[in-house]
A = this chain, B = another copy of it.
Amino acid sequence: MTFDELSHQIFKKQSYLCVGLDTDPRKLPAHLLTEPDPVFAFNKAIIDATADFAVAYKPNIAFYEAQGPRGWESLQKTLEYIPGDCFTIADAKRGDIGNTSGLYARAFFDPSAAGLDFDSITVAPYMGQDSVEPFLEYPGKWVILLALTSNAGSADFQRLPTTPDGDVELFEAVMQTAKTWAGADRMMFVVGATQSTVFSRIRELTPDHFLLVPGVGAQGGSLADVSKCGLTESGGLLVNASRSILYASDGTDFADKARAEAQALQTEMATYLGQYCSRA
């Protein structure tokens, strides 16, 4: 999916919601456990319930990997089921030396390899340019690079000063440098919603890039703050919610409750789009 197509979907659906498919087999509603593939049955119901309100889906690869080969099959089926007008993100946080990153890129981008054809993958920047480039060699695919994450541990290294005057912290150095590797049409950055105090600095540094924003909901970030500082004329944000939608109910009404949660977020997002984007 291109930058313009993603932007179009955002204004069409009046939403920049990304639904995180962090599907934990231990948290599934009991009535799904007799299904041949309970994880896929759950994801299918969640996708059906939320697709009107979401522009992106983000399977969290750890949850599938922790199921072994079976989990990989659930992931394949889930990805195939996501509607074509939604952007897909492999939340994998990979990154390795060139030839190995090339294999990870194959795994997630080349359907003839592992049966997966994601639009994008999250990548960790620690190993530098040659660890990221193999993902950019797939035409039309996106890299979503970790910049300033939503967790407490983001303070350990991401906020270290990297200049004598301390003006450029590591996450800013990462964004400045990575901007030279690919344009806003191929690269996004992960910025946690819990980092609202520096959101304006980040928007100054990357005025055109999409930001993938986890941390609203269970992690305590504010959708209002993120939207005010982060929205651009192209949309420019994908705000992720996972647990608050997936586990809104653990009963037979889980999909209805998930739909209501997604709709509530979309309604709020439509308001912010109206407030902050002249195009809306």
- Please give the residue numbers on chain A whose beta carbons come within 8 Å of chain B beta carbons, in ascending order: 22, 24, 60, 62-63, 65-73, 76, 91, 93-101, 103-104, 106-107, 113-116, 124-132, 146, 149-158, 160-166, 170, 173-174, 177, 214, 219
Q: Which residue of B lies closest to A110 (CB)?
A: B66
Q: State the copy count for this chain.
A: 2
C-alpha gap A98/B98 in the complex (Å): 27
C-alpha gap A91/B219 in the complex (Å): 29
Residue of A66, A76, A164 with most chain B CB atoms under a 10 A cut-off? A66
A151-B66 CB under 8 A given contacts A126-B158, A127-B146? no
Q: Which residue of B lies closest to A70 (CB)?
A: B69
Smallest CB separation, A267 vs chain B (Å): 27
C-alpha gap A60/B165 in the complex (Å): 40
Which chain B residues lie closer than 8 Å to A219 at the CB level? 97
Partner of A100, one of B62, B67, B76: B62
By the criterion CB–CB under 8 Å, are B160 and A131 in contact?
A: no
Smallest CB separation, A139 vs chain B (Å): 19
C-alpha gap A152/B62 in the complex (Å): 28
By the criterion CB–CB under 8 Å, are A128 and B157 in contact?
A: yes
Q: Which residue of B lies closest to A190 (CB)?
A: B127
By the criterion CB–CB under 8 Å, are B161 and A107 in contact?
A: no
Partner of A65, one of B107, B162, B214: B107
Smallest CB separation, A217 vs chain B (Å): 13
Which chain B residues lie closer than 8 Å to A158 at the CB level? 126-128
Partner of A113, one of B68, B98, B106, B152: B68
By the criterion CB–CB under 8 Å, are A157 and B174 in contact?
A: yes
